Structure 1
Amino acid sequence: MTDAAPEAATTEDGNARPYSVSELAFALKRTLEDAYGFVRLRGELSKVTHHSNGHVYLTLKDDRAAIDGVVWKGQVRGLSVRPEQGLEVIVTGKITAYPAGSRYQIVIETMEAAGVGALLAQLERLKARLADEGLFAAERKQSLPYLPATVGVITSPTGAVIRDILHRIRDRWPCRVVVWPVVVQGDAAAAQVCAAIKGFDAQDGSGPIPRPDVLIVARGGGSVEDLWPFNDEALARTVAACSIPLISAVGHETDTTLIDFVSDRRAPTPTAAAEMATPVLAELKGYVGDLSARMHRCGGRAVEDRRGRIAAAERALRRVPDLIELATQRFGIVSGRLGAGLARNVAVHERELVRTTARLSPLLLQRPQAVQRQRLDGVAVRLPPAMARGLERASERFSALSKLYASVDPERPLQRGFARVTRADGSIVHAGAALASGEDVAIKFGDQVTRQAVIDGAPGASPSAPAAPKPSKSRPKPGLPAQGDLF
């Protein structure tokens, strides 16, 4: 199969040769790409989809037709406008077909807004979205420093803007000015301004270039297309995220860009931005001089006030002898009454002492002693009988416990002729039936312990002729039952 369209051919019966679906689809694809390798279309965007893989899929339409389009991931960043629903654009690319679906589409390489109206409509939608995010809120804007030591200027190094700013700062407040040169027009302007703002913001002041106290983004006037890079969304977000107070001075007073809304302060002109960023040194000197004069006047008034107070106090101190004479007179009167007062006090205490001693007598001490002595005598009389009764009761309890101990002593039955049979592990045998044949047992009498072996249920007996038990030599005591055979 060649690159050309499939040639007409006939079969042996004279009919046209049938093509496969793939042959026809790829032939049409090559025909479209060869005939429309470069086209420029104008239309309205619809069904815009920003895919997660970075590609953008859309439809370009007018009032009577529509064509699908795609912007590959590598071309998205180079577009001058962001594809949005309803935006009228002019695109360039090539027409191609998708054989698997029998569809044709345009692969877009460039995209631009179709006229100023489309650009402004896109800008209004972007402004509304950023305003909803709170980037225009007044509470997030920073205040400008009153006495900046370093001013950072982001603008073109050539032209009248930088000269006006430097001249104005030199006249008002001689300080250090750091210029970050950028282009302020064209497709690369927004990216360079973003890089300059981030570069200033990333400095920590430890290097040779100091960190600016305030930034100025400046550009001269121009058309909407010339100022359009300052309406870039990425630039607006960079300005909003900058930690250094920033003044926007783009265009003339009637020109408005997106960064004017997100910056901390907007200046109508670059010269006005320099005036906002710096105070007037002469005015500060005059203000300081006025404060110094006011301080001297206030100090003079304070000295005069203190002098008047001292004079008034001096006039009052001239009556010191009169004050001392009055105090001396009061002291004489009080000292004259002191002796008579002490005598009266002694007399009063003496009468109280006589009245108290009249009530004191030996009987007050003897009566409690007699009562205590009678109680002690009573206790001494009752104590010996009580102790004797206690000892008698304790002796009776001891005798009862001794008898109880003797009755439960396990060795006492052995003294009366009984014996105790235990196994090898020390357990007591309570019945002969519990013994096994050949088991060793210990028999304890009152005087000794013997060891026996149980054969056929009787210790020491022959299996064939069991021995008759020997009669007991001891006679049972009167009143006690005779001891039986343990086995």
Structure 2
Amino acid sequence: MPSSQFFDDNDDARSGGLVAKETAGDNAAPLSISEISNLLKRTVEDRFGFVRLRGELSGVKRAASGHLYCALKDDKAVIDGVMWKGGAQRLAFRPEDGVEVIATGKLTTYPGRSKYQIVIETMEIAGEGALLALLEKLRARLAAEGLFAPERKRPLPFLPQVIGVVTSPTGAVIRDILHRLADRFPSRVLVWPVLVQGEGAAAQVAGAVRGFSAIQPGGPIPRPDLVIVARGGGSIEDLWSFNEEVVVRAVAESTIPVISAVGHETDTTLCDHAADRRAPTPTAAAEMAVPVRFELSAQLADLALRKRKCALRPVMLGRERLEARVQRLPKPEAILAARAQRLDELSERLRRGLRDEAAAKGRALQQVAGRLSLPLLRHRVQLCDERLGRIGLAPRLLERRWALARDALAPTARVLPQLDPRLPLQRGYALVKSPDGAALTSKEAAAAQNRLVIEFRDGELSVLREGQTSPPPASRKPARPARAPSRQGDLF
């Protein structure tokens, strides 16, 4: 029985019962969920503390905290991944779905969901093919927004006074640009030093382009008329900073015309598509920026010569025409010969005529001189004196004519005082006038006035229409006395 009882108890322990029981000799205490999760976490992190995974990104999401969440997958499996904010900010490219990458980090577990994941420390694009695929995808997306449209391109200034250059201050690019500008047309150059590759290069290039656009005209720092974004040649990885979206958008949004001179002739970046003009090399960008001063001087000299020729051409043509016409004109002596001969003939006739006229007048004077004797003149004066004595001017003749004129004027003088308009005022009548002094002779004319002036024998009175404001009192003028008939006295 004891033995039988023992086996029955073990069978019950193995088969499980309603209540958990401790078995003699059992040293495996039950673990909590947190404990087993922590054990699994340490085991996975110890075993897979450093791994490199190659896969395609999927479900890329950047949280508000700056952390990057994604999944790495191939054709058979998928693993979640997380990249903390510090590592995500150091990425040299923008992670997108479908990009094949190589991620380096460590595996860990996430107890909250009983999942394992990779904590990514670095992430790189898996090969040049994947990088080109990402580049083409980004190019298509930005082109769909119209950033590369030809109508957005602006013409470059013909002769910029100030040129801004965004490049590395220690490379050969800036020396080539300055040397080429000095050879062609010396200009003022502002260099904004930036990194042209590596971590943070894209942000610095974009900030430099936006910084030039933010310079206000007339400030302490001159605003550039043209901006050159330049870098020497290199691989696609070296030039990747100029394919970043932040750089492309900064170049497209620049308020200053931009020349992109990134790499050599065979190198093409998205910055080249967004710029207003693409230069195959930095030296070519300097040649595009300014003309050749010697050629401009020669062109100006040629234009000045052409201007002088154009100005002198009418003078030369006029001189030729004048000389041709002068050849056809007759000689001045031939023109005046006939007139001079006619003048000589008339002069001779004039002398003869004057001489003959003087002789005729002399003969006539001699004939009249005989009749102008002194006794004859005295006799004519005496006859005139006698005729004047016989004419008499008696005063009574003048008085009679004056009396006749006075009698004819007397009836008019008696009627004139009766026509004086102010004579009735002496008998109590009044004269109604308008404010301007015109006499009113009808009711309608008086009703049309707002104010009337009534003249009496001893002065004037101003009368207003009912409701009108009283004006200042009118000056009272003394009535003029009636005119008395005038009598003119005798002249003698």
Superposed pair shares fold, TM > 0.5: yes
Q: CA deviation at 1:313?
A: 12
CA distance in 2, matches of 1:226, 1:235: 15
Q: CA deviation at 1:306?
A: 5.9
Corresponding residue for 1:130? 142
Q: CA deviation at 1:52?
A: 5.1
Is residue 11–residue 17 contact of structure 1 (8 Å, CA) maintained in 2?
no
Letter of the 1:21 counterpart: I
CA distance in 2, matches of 1:248, 1:83: 25
Structure 1 residues 201-241: Cα deviation after superposition (integer angstroms, max 9, x where no partner): 11114344311111111111111211111111111111111
- Out of 172, 180, 192, the residue aligned to residue 168 of structure 1 is 180
Is residue 39–residue 95 contact of structure 1 (8 Å, CA) maintained in 2?
yes
Is residue 92–residue 241 contact of structure 2 (8 Å, CA) maintained in 1?
no
Corresponding residue for 2:15? none
Letter of the 1:265 counterpart: R
SS of the residue corresponding to residue 238 of structure 1 reads helix
CA distance in 2, matches of 1:271, 1:100: 59
Structure 1 residues 150-197: Cα deviation after superposition (integer angstroms, max 9, x where no partner): 111121222322221111111111111122222222123212212221
Structure 1 residues 105-126: Cα deviation after superposition (integer angstroms, max 9, x where no partner): 1122221101111111100000
Aligned-residue CA RMSD (Å): 2.7
- Out of 75, 79, 92, the residue aligned to residue 67 of structure 1 is 79
- Out of 24, 28, 46, the residue aligned to residue 13 of structure 1 is 24
Is residue 159 of structure 1 aligned with residue 199 of structure 2? no
- Structure 1: segments with no counterpart, 5+ residues: 1-9, 319-487
Q: CA deviation at 1:198?
A: 1.8
- Out of 120, 133, 137, the residue aligned to residue 121 of structure 1 is 133
- Structure 2: segments with no counterpart, 5+ residues: 1-20, 331-492
- Out of 219, 237, 240, the residue aligned to residue 231 of structure 2 is 219
CA distance in 2, matches of 1:186, 1:76: 15
- Out of 206, 210, 213, the residue aligned to residue 218 of structure 2 is 206
Corresponding residue for 1:246? 258
CA distance in 1, matches of 2:115, 2:325: 110
SS of the residue corresponding to residue 45 of structure 2 reads helix
CA distance in 2, matches of 1:33, 1:304: 100
Q: Aligned residues: percent identity? A: 63
Is residue 47–residue 59 contact of structure 1 (8 Å, CA) maintained in 2?
yes
- Out of 118, 121, 131, the residue aligned to residue 106 of structure 1 is 118
Is residue 81–residue 111 contact of structure 1 (8 Å, CA) maintained in 2?
no
SS of the residue corresponding to residue 226 of structure 1 reads coil
Letter of the 1:33 counterpart: E
- Which range moves more in the overlay, 41-50 or 195-204? 41-50
- Which range moves more in the overlay, 174-183 or 287-296? 174-183
Tell me the number of residue pairs that the alignment of Structure 1 and Structure 2 aligns. Answer: 309
Structure 1 residues 335-388: Cα deviation after superposition (integer angstroms, max 9, x where no partner): xxxxxxxxxxxxxxxxxxxxxxxxxxxxxxxxxxxxxxxxxxxxxxxxxxxxxx
CA distance in 2, matches of 1:52, 1:125: 25
CA distance in 2, matches of 1:53, 1:168: 48
TM-score normalized with structure 1 length: 0.59
Q: CA deviation at 1:245?
A: 0.7
Letter of the 1:218 counterpart: A
Corresponding residue for 1:352? none
CA distance in 2, matches of 1:94, 1:175: 55
CA distance in 2, matches of 1:116, 1:151: 35
Is residue 198–residue 242 contact of structure 1 (8 Å, CA) maintained in 2?
yes
Q: CA deviation at 1:257?
A: 1.1
Is residue 288 of structure 1 aligned with residue 295 of structure 2? no
Is residue 236 of structure 1 aligned with residue 274 of structure 2? no
